[in-house]
Structure 1
Amino acid sequence: MLFMIVVAAGSLVSGVAWAADGEAVFQSTCKNCHATGVMGAPKFGSQADWGSRIAQGMAVLYQHALNGFTGKKGMMPARGGRGSLSDEEVKAAVDYMVNAAK
């Protein structure tokens, strides 16, 4: 029983760390475009900007953020133009921005 509680508590702590990492990546990289909507970037926290993108599913959002994307509304450079970001960091930043727009 105690083992299950420790494992559950560890999972909660990792989830919080994941969210914090997403915010840190957003602050250091993503906000350069997503704070103001440069190049058609959906603005941070805007349901109107993010709604249709969220409807495509997280797999599509991750793919666009990781590999880059050019569409009718603008473009997304791969990894936000910061090639040193890991897949996990990029996905955490996407999660952070999506959650802020819900």
Structure 2
Amino acid sequence: MMNNYKLLAALVLGACTSLAGAADNAKAEAAYKATCMSCHGAGVLGAPKVGDKTAWKPRLAKGKAAVYTNAINGFKMMPPRGGNPALKDDEVKAVVDFMVAKSS
């Protein structure tokens, strides 16, 4: 009987974790669409387009921490936080993770 409770608890925890992850991913996607897509969707001013593995490869070779830093602080023509000062560091990182997942 105890094993059944442990199994049920594990299933519930896994479902909650999956829902939280899905919600976080949806927030990251919404922030991408609102803030980042205008440049990273079209490759404006050299921004690596989401889905373009070749463009993202050299950036990711420097490590995700470097990509986070560039996204938070700005890099070349990209303004800090993609021009949205309301985005918190963790939100910017989540958007980077969303774009990288679609591009690597």
TM over 0.5: yes
Work out whether 1:29 is the aligned partner of 2:35: yes
Work out whether 1:60 is the aligned partner of 2:62: no
Summarize the alignment of residues 1-102 of structure 1 with structure 2, pairs less than 5 Å apart. Answer: 1=6, 2-70=8-76, 75-102=77-104
Residue type of the partner of 2:85?
G
Query: What do the CA deviations read for 1:14-65 (whole angstroms, capped 9, x no partner)?
Result: 1111211111111101011111111211011101111111121211111111
Q: Distance in 2 between matches of 1:82 and 1:41?
A: 16
Residue type of the partner of 1:3?
A
Residue type of the partner of 1:21?
K
Unaligned runs of 5+ in 2: 1-5
Q: CA deviation at 1:90?
A: 1.0
SS at match of 1:62: helix
Unaligned runs of 5+ in 1: none
TM-score by length of 2: 0.85
TM-score by length of 1: 0.87
Instruction: Name the one with the larger strand percent.
Output: 1
Residue type of the partner of 1:29?
T
Query: Highest relative contact order (Cα 8 Å, sep 6+), 1 or 2?
Result: 1
SS at match of 2:97: helix
Question: Bigger radius of gyration, 1 or 2?
Answer: 2
